[in-house]
Amino acid sequence: MTIGTAVKMSRMRMRMSWVGIGCVGLGLGALQMGVAQQAPQPAAATVVSQPWRNAALDPDTRADLMVKAMTLEEKIQLVHGSGWGVLRPGAVVPAGDNGGAGFVPGIPRLGLPDINMADSAVGIRMAARESRYATLLPSVIGMASSWDPAMGHLYGAVIGRELRDEGYNMSIGGGVDLIREPRNGRNFEYASEDPVLSGTMVGELAMGVQSQEVMGDIKHYVMNDQETGRNTLNAVLNERAMQETDLLGFQIAIGMAKPAGVMCSYNRVNGDYACENKYTLTDVLKDQWGYKGFVLSDWDGTHSTVKAVLAGEDMEQPGDKYFGAPLQAAVIAGTVPVARLDDMVHRIVRSMFATGVVDHPPVRRVVDPFEGRDDARKIEEEGLVLLKNEGGVLPLASGSARTIAVIGGRADFGVLSGGGSAQVDAPGGRPGGSEWGVPVYFPSSPLRYLREQAGSDAAVSFDAGTDVAEAAKAAAKAQVAVVFVTQWMSEGMDRMTLSLPDNQDALVEAVAKANPNTVVVLETGGPVSMPWSAQVKGIVEAWYPGIGGGEAIANVLFGRVNASGKLPVTFAANDAQLPHPKVTGLTPETGNNGMDAGAHHGKEAENFTVDYNVEGMLVGYKWFEVKDRTPLFPFGFGLSYTSFAYSGLKVAEGAESVSFTVKNTGARAGDEIAEVYVTLPKSAGEPFRKLAGFARVSLAAGASETVTVPISPLYLKVFSTQKSGWERVGGAYSIEVGGSSAELPLKAEVSLAAE
Ligand code: BGC
């Protein structure tokens, strides 16, 4: 057989198998008619074609065509998962399930692939299964500290790339809940307390995922702002405040990325569960924002059949308790219209076409760990935040006669990662995943890189920090002490306080007393209090640094990379400064794992309310401004090894953009993050600054640049509950620009008409 004939034969086989596949769906009669070529043929029944295969058609048309060809059973099959799979010992793992958190079998006769979903908040979970590898990225909050949309995109692209390599076609990461509660155990999966920063950075992340032809996701929709009591709590917040805070973050991210999925959360929102909340799912997400993808429930977050479906949930995960047989029965009984089921299926299928997972399914290959590590390191380098640098204690000098005492945080071994479903399995970790509730350190040793950069003549000692007196002794012997402190956070828990756990405040205090040149490196999942901040010379927030973290930390401490990150959250001085001095429902009795705090107290679950009207719109820095409280470190704050000056603010017609000049006034190259805030006219009833735009600028020593920052018209508006939409009030708008929410040297006032 020549090559030509072989190709022709295989094409024929393909065509024949298409005919075969197509005929199965049309039934045996059609098959027989197809074979008996002479028989008179009613066109529709005999022309075996799959017009949705035509990639030139738009995703909605393709989905419509495919949905028309589906049986009721096939439609039902697509709107729920197939059980807990690998997540629960003993649960069935269906054929084709790639070992991630979610699996929806496809419909081979129509050419629709399976959906294999993997948790991938900060890298892929369940990679250890079958000895696969996944890159641990820095925490999302660390990525957001870069204020660099390109880093958000890269972050998502790493996740998408590795999902493909591992045979997954959907990410279920993309956390965009606001950091309204700074002690929330999942803050490391989220970006910021500000909706514009959160939405923009996580929107880029989801775009990055989808750039790899993998379905993206945004979660947990919505008001899932604490873990304590998350399965039962009722988050209460008035409509305007919700629209302008938590919903706005989602609106921005979803508008940018058009993600395949939006995951509805466990909690209730103003009475109804988030997964059966018509207001948030249909009125806002689908009608106001025009979202075309599908709403999938958080795992076991579905609570009903008819109510959930009619409210707007499109897919139950991970099982079929409500969207399997009960939904089929409801459709047959007419309590759920066929049109609604078709809409659910359409949304799933159109997302598969739109993202490319049908036309370009993932092809497994070995993940490149080095590329992943370099990407992770780059993101971390931009996201590290230098919070204090008294007397130029940093950058550290290398060379002879240097003595550095490195203390604590397991810095000899590696870096801390966050827990829960965002846990990336450590290289060589337990097959099937890491153990829930057990902190995992990744082998990227800051000590190793600090030693490397200090040079062979320097003496860099290590003390574990477990004995405070010993640590102080070690610190006293060195010129500089670098103390690593950690705060482990995880899904399913909140922290009782902002204080560092495990006596680490005492450790820092003792070291600072022993050594006047003490630098603290924080590996935390969110803001913490620092009662010792005045006693140390340097403070660096590294968040959970990711697999390139050890090197990134050393690069910034030694100044190979200039510090440039800025805080995406306010660091309160103590818990008493917060709108909720205690996490609602979390008490020493309910324990740290306060998942069902309401039930724990023997109360009706319905009674467990978190009253977000206490702060309403005043999330994070807005609260501190209005209440006139001075935080430890303000939102948007971060130092550099160089300095910057701002000048020449100009506001374009209609405040569509602002431009200004940033000059690097120091002796080193560096990046500055310029922040633009607006304060609305008095009549808006919002007496606080809000972030309206930002830009990251790279400047050589002495260089300056004129920067133009666009301002989205939406960010100048307020939500009108009467109009169920956004409006601009007429009056004087003040626009301020600078390098921190607390230091805004440029100011202009413009008058804008109502709109
Ligand atoms: C989490 C989700 C996660 C899901 C699947 C839930 O417990 O809240 O974020 O995607 O589990 O693992």
DSSP string, 350-374: HHHHHHTTTTS--------HHHHHH
User: What is the per-residue pLDDT across 601-655, written as a single tens digit (0 to 9) for each?
Assistant: 444 455 689 999 999 999 999 999 999 999 999 999 999 999 999 999 999 999 9
The answer as to whether 308 is a domain residue is: yes
Tell me how far the alpha carbon of residue 221 lies from the centroid of ligand 1, in angstroms: 12
Helix (H, G, I), strand (E, B), or coil: what is residue 505?
helix
CB 711 within 8 A of CB 668: no
Among protein residues, the one whose CA lies closest to atom 6 of ligand 1: 299
Nearest CA to 206 out of 125, 293, 284 is that of 293
Q: DSSP letter at 210?
A: H
d(CA 616, CA 726): 17
Tell me how far the alpha carbon of residue 491 lies from the centroid of ligand 1, in angstroms: 9
Low-confidence ranges of the chain (pLDDT < 50): 1-47, 593-595, 597-604
Domain CATH code at residue 207: 3.20.20.300
Among protein residues, the one whose CA lies closest to atom 2 of ligand 1: 298
Neighbours of 404 (CB within 10 A): 25
> Does the beta carbon of 421 lie inside 6 Å of ligand 1?
yes
Tell me how far the alpha carbon of residue 347 lies from the centroid of ligand 1, in angstroms: 21
The answer as to whether 187 is a domain residue is: yes
The answer as to whether 658 is a domain residue is: yes
From 97, 115, 119, mutation site for ligand 1 pocket: most ligand atoms within 8 A of C-beta: 119
Percent helix, strand and coil across the chain, each to the nearest 5? 35, 20, 45
User: What is the per-residue pLDDT across 739-749, written as a single tens digit (0 to 9) for each?
Assistant: 999 999 999 99
Helix (H, G, I), strand (E, B), or coil: what is residue 455?
coil
- Among 346, 364, 382, where does a domain finish? 364
Q: What is the pLDDT of residue 607?
A: 63
Structural domain that includes position 292: 3-364
The answer as to whether 696 is a domain residue is: yes
Nearest CA to 441 out of 465, 413, 416 is that of 416
Helix (H, G, I), strand (E, B), or coil: what is residue 219?
strand
Residues sharing a CB contact under 8 Å with residue 88, sequence separation 6 or more, in sequence order: none
Q: What is the pLDDT of residue 388?
A: 98
Q: What is the pLDDT of residue 413?
A: 97
Q: What are phi and psi of 466, to 5 degrees?
A: -80, -25
The DSSP element (H or E) to which 102 belongs, if any, is strand 102-104
User: What is the per-residue pLDDT across 266-314, written as a single tens digit (0 to 9) for each?
Assistant: 999 999 999 999 999 999 999 999 999 999 999 999 999 999 999 999 9
Tell me how far the alpha carbon of residue 595 lies from the centroid of ligand 1, in angstroms: 13
> Does the beta carbon of 299 lie inside 6 Å of ligand 1?
yes
Rg, C-alpha atoms of the chain: 27
Q: What is the pLDDT of residue 507?
A: 98
The amino acid at residue 365 is R
The answer as to whether 476 is a domain residue is: no
CB 199 within 8 A of CB 178: no
> Does the beta carbon of 422 lie inside 6 Å of ligand 1?
no
- Among 327, 348, 364, where does a domain finish? 364
Domain CATH code at residue 686: 2.60.40.10
CB 210 within 8 A of CB 355: yes
The answer as to whether 22 is a domain residue is: yes
Evaluate the omega torsion of the peptide bond into residue 89 and state whether it is cis, within 30 degrees of 0.
no
> Does the beta carbon of 298 lie inside 6 Å of ligand 1?
yes
Q: What is the pLDDT of residue 590?
A: 67
Tell me how far the alpha carbon of residue 537 lies from the centroid of ligand 1, in angstroms: 40
The answer as to whether 300 is a domain residue is: yes
From 188, 491, 493, 593, mutation site for ligand 1 pocket: most ligand atoms within 8 A of C-beta: 491
Tell me how far the alpha carbon of residue 242 lies from the centroid of ligand 1, in angstroms: 23
The answer as to whether 18 is a domain residue is: yes
Alpha helices in 465-521 (DSSP H): 468-476, 504-514
Domain count within the chain = 2
d(CA 493, CA 502): 17
- Among 364, 397, 429, where does a domain finish? 364
Catalytic residues: 298
End-to-end Cα spacing for the chain:
73
Helix (H, G, I), strand (E, B), or coil: what is residue 612?
helix
> Does the beta carbon of 119 lie inside 6 Å of ligand 1?
yes
Among protein residues, the one whose CA lies closest to atom 7 of ligand 1: 299
> Does the beta carbon of 101 lie inside 6 Å of ligand 1?
yes
Distances in Å between the Cα of 463 and the Cα atoms of 405, 413, 659, 679 are: 8, 12, 50, 49
> Does the beta carbon of 172 lie inside 6 Å of ligand 1?
yes
Q: What is the pLDDT of residue 279?
A: 98
